[in-house]
Amino acid sequence: MNPAPLVVHLLYRLDVGGMETLLVDCIRRMPPERYRHAVVCLSDYSAFADQLRAPHVQLYALHKRPGLAPATHVALWKLLRRLRPALLHTYNLAAIEYHASARLAGVRAHLHAEHGRDSSDPHGRNRKHNLLRRLLTPLIDTYVPVSRDLQQWLAATIGVPARKNRLLPNGVDTAHYRPDGPVARHFDAGCIVIGTVGRLHAVKNHSGLIDAFVRLRALLPALAPRLRLAIVGDGHCADALRAQVRAAGLSDVVWLAGARDDIAALLRGFSVFALSSIAEGTPVSILEAMAAGLPIVSTNVGGIAEVVDNGRTGLLAAAGDNGALAAALAYYCAHPRVATLHGQAGRAHVQQHASIDATVAAYLDVYDTLTQTHHRGARPACVES
């Protein structure tokens, strides 16, 4: 009996994050008789990778150093020659250049996912990066952007043809992320907790959220003794954020929780979920919060407006407008009944439009199309002539 086809997933690092959570959830839910998986990290992986321990999943780290690293291309080429995967699935800009090495290694089916852009290029205008994307487009069979915003950018800016540009929205496990269940609290039950979950990286702009929280306390002096802020996640901005909190005299009311593995329980302890990013695709953290029945206050960037219905499931503010973010938070804090109704509407939306089962089924369809087409030796319809 022939083994199931092997998919190699290539990303920069496997650690706690929305994209990484989606990758893990999809792999764990795909039938092992359909596909085997190898997750290859250009740099390394953390204990988060323990969730992938299974007979049909392999894990590798290439220990790439920052900057140009020709040796990493060689290492990946050797690994792919040994693994002989049916498909290479890369994630975001850091991994896209390795499609060339994979082609040289004999990998025939190529998929690239765009989950969002980083703080150095929030609007996707970097000429060198976009030139790289254009040059590699002939080597990539299918792009899978996670939002209409990213799909339109790939078409208009990069020139990805429609037949290669397949929207594939993120999904979450609505049975795990739900309003009822165990609650993990750091603050007293009577507090109004503004919470967020995400990597502590510049693109998430947690500094702006802390500033908005300071403004919120000034807007609602009567509620200020009950207001709290919880920031869940880890990353290179952690020390700077701790210093900002100390300088503002907020150490008793702002909790930097670090990386956690009990996100669903933590969400149930929040009153409002907030996101202050300057760039996004479709954040998995927002979908998880909506599934948990929380109203959303977020900057209006990327694909967020595609999942957060402004005035119905959440409130949106312009990126960088900390005053508007504070005002939106203040509205929910002062109107808890509205917050509850908007949270209920958000959960209903995710149940109907953003389930993890639908996402897994869509990826399986893409994998089947690419691997079966190449197995037959035909030129796939999504490859340019």
Average of per-residue pLDDT across 294-302? 97
Query: Across-strand partners of 356?
Result: none
- Lowest mean per-residue pLDDT among 85-89, 278-282, 373-377: 373-377
In terms of domains, do 131 and 260 share one?
Answer: no
What's residue 1's pLDDT? Answer: 64
75 lies in some domain? yes
In terms of domains, do 292 and 361 share one?
Answer: no
250 lies in some domain? yes
178 lies in some domain? no
**Burial category of 321 from C-beta neighbours within 10 Å (exposed 0-12, middle 13-18, buried 19 and up):** middle
Tokens of 85: 């995967």
Q: Is residue 83 a contact partner of residue 62, using CB atoms and an 8 Å limit?
A: no
Count the helices and strands in the chain (H runs, E runs): 14, 12
In terms of domains, do 343 and 246 share one?
Answer: yes
102 lies in some domain? yes
Q: What is the pLDDT of residues 110-123, one digit of tens each?
A: 999 999 988 789 88
DSSP letters spanning 240-263:
HHHHHHHHTT-TTTEEEEES-S-H
Domain extent, residue 41, equals: 6-171+355-375
pTM of the model: 0.90
Q: What is the pLDDT of residues 144-190, one digit of tens each?
A: 999 999 999 999 999 999 999 999 999 999 999 999 999 999 999 99
Q: Is residue 287 a contact partner of residue 346, using CB atoms and an 8 Å limit?
A: no
385 lies in some domain? no
381 lies in some domain? no
In terms of domains, do 202 and 345 share one?
Answer: yes
Closest CA to 323 of 216, 207, 198, 190: 216
In terms of domains, do 10 and 149 share one?
Answer: yes
Average of per-residue pLDDT across 7-19? 94
184 lies in some domain? no
Residue 231 scores a pLDDT above 90 = yes
In terms of domains, do 94 and 110 share one?
Answer: yes
Closest CA to 25 of 251, 214, 185, 263: 263
What's residue 68's pLDDT? Answer: 84
Residue 239 scores a pLDDT above 80 = yes
Measured CA to CA, the distance from residue 230 to residue 239 in angstroms comes to 16
Angle at 94 between CA 73 and CA 156, to 5 degrees: 120
Q: Is residue 205 a contact partner of residue 301, using CB atoms and an 8 Å limit?
A: no
Residue type, 310: N
Closest CA to 309 of 319, 298, 318: 298
In terms of domains, do 233 and 137 share one?
Answer: no
- Number of independent structural domains in the chain: 2
In terms of domains, do 152 and 206 share one?
Answer: no
Number of C-beta neighbours around residue 189 at 10 A: 8
In terms of domains, do 340 and 359 share one?
Answer: no
177 lies in some domain? no
Residue 17 scores a pLDDT above 90 = no
Report the share of the chain in percent with pLDDT over 70: 97
CATH number of residue 285's parent domain: 3.40.50.2000
In terms of domains, do 119 and 161 share one?
Answer: yes
Tokens of 158: 């990069």
Which tops the pLDDT comparison, 16 or 374? 16
In terms of domains, do 368 and 286 share one?
Answer: no
In terms of domains, do 20 and 166 share one?
Answer: yes
Residue 375 scores a pLDDT above 80 = no
